[in-house]
Amino acid sequence: MSATVLLGMMGAGKTTLGGLLAERLGAPYASLDGMIAAAAGKDIPRIFAEDGEDEFRRQETAALAEILAADAAGVIDTGGGIVDRPANRELLAASSARRIYLQAPAEILAARIGTPEGRPMLVEGDLVPQLAKLLERRDAHYRAAATIVFPTAEAAGPEEAAAELARLLQE
Ligand SMILES: Nc1ncnc2c1ncn2[C@@H]1O[C@H](COP(=O)(O)OP(=O)(O)OP(=O)(O)O)[C@@H](O)[C@H]1O
Ligand SMILES: O=C(O)C1=C[C@@H](O)[C@@H](O)[C@H](O)C1
Ligand SMILES: [Mg+2]
């Protein structure tokens, strides 16, 4: 079985569904944000604050290249900005991994996220227009990178969404 890469915005459900899906598939779960933080020895807000977004994006590309090259059967939870860099889009397109875009509108993402705290791409204030702007830039890239587009706003909840996703992957 090839790897399954989860793509999508902050609040799309990558971590929640990634864990549930990995359980259902009996496969390991890995978080790219987690790998980056572990390698840097500090959390992502601190990487952004101390080293800048460009440095974070460089580390993100290195982590993506490493995990895709390992070609292990597992569920990979990516950061929301993974499609911003052309190098990452190329790595994704060239990989044999199944790639799932967890899609949801800005209003639902904002409700799930709640607060911008700990999220360096967001600032205080209404999150809906901020997320809409990021989505406007990223949505077409997520779709182009994905082998499956999966709307999460329509599922009754994470358990139901994970069951449906597992079914789609076994088709
Ligand atoms: N299909 C779903 N239906 C309803 N709520 C969901 C669904 N998927 C996730 N959620 C809820 O949305 C919130 C955000 O989900 P999650 O943390 O998995 O998103 P994420 O894509 O990993 O985003 P980030 O890593 O940026 O926080 C959680 O509270 C989760 O329970
Ligand atoms: O949407 C984004 O650009 C980000 C999402 C998070 O998962 C982290 O990767 C980081 O905070 C950047
Ligand atoms: Mg997450």
Judge if the beta carbon of residue 122 lies within 6 A of ligand 2: no
Task: For the chain, list the strands marked E by DSSP.
Answer: 4-7, 29-31, 75-77, 98-103, 148-151
Ligand 1 within 6 A of 155 CB?
A: yes
Distance between CA 39 and CA 32 in Å, rounded?
11
Residues at the binding site for Mg(2+) are 15
Interval between CA 77 and ligand 3 midpoint (Å):
7
Residue 111 neighbours by CB under 8 Å, 6+ apart: none
- Nearest atom of ligand 1 to the alpha carbon of 6: 21
Residue to mutate (ligand 1; options 7, 10, 16, 32; most atoms within 8 A of CB): 16
- The interface pTM score, or ipTM, of the predicted complex is 0.96
Distance of alpha carbon 77 from alpha carbon 163, whole angstroms: 17
Q: How many CB atoms lie within 10 A of CB 3?
A: 21
- In short, whether 44's Cβ falls inside 6 Å of ligand 2 is yes
Q: Is 10 in the pocket of ligand 1 (CB under 6 A)?
A: yes
Domains of the chain, start order: 4-170 (3.40.50.300)
Work out the angle at residue 33's Cα, subtended by the Cα atoms of residues 36 and 113, and round it to the nearest 5 degrees.
150
CB-side exposure of 27: number of CA atoms within 13 Å? 22
User: pLDDT digit of tens for each residue in the chain (171 aa)?
Assistant: 689 999 999 999 999 999 999 999 999 999 999 999 999 999 999 999 999 999 999 999 999 999 999 878 899 999 999 999 999 999 999 999 999 999 999 999 999 999 999 999 999 999 999 999 999 999 999 999 999 999 999 878 999 999 999 999 887
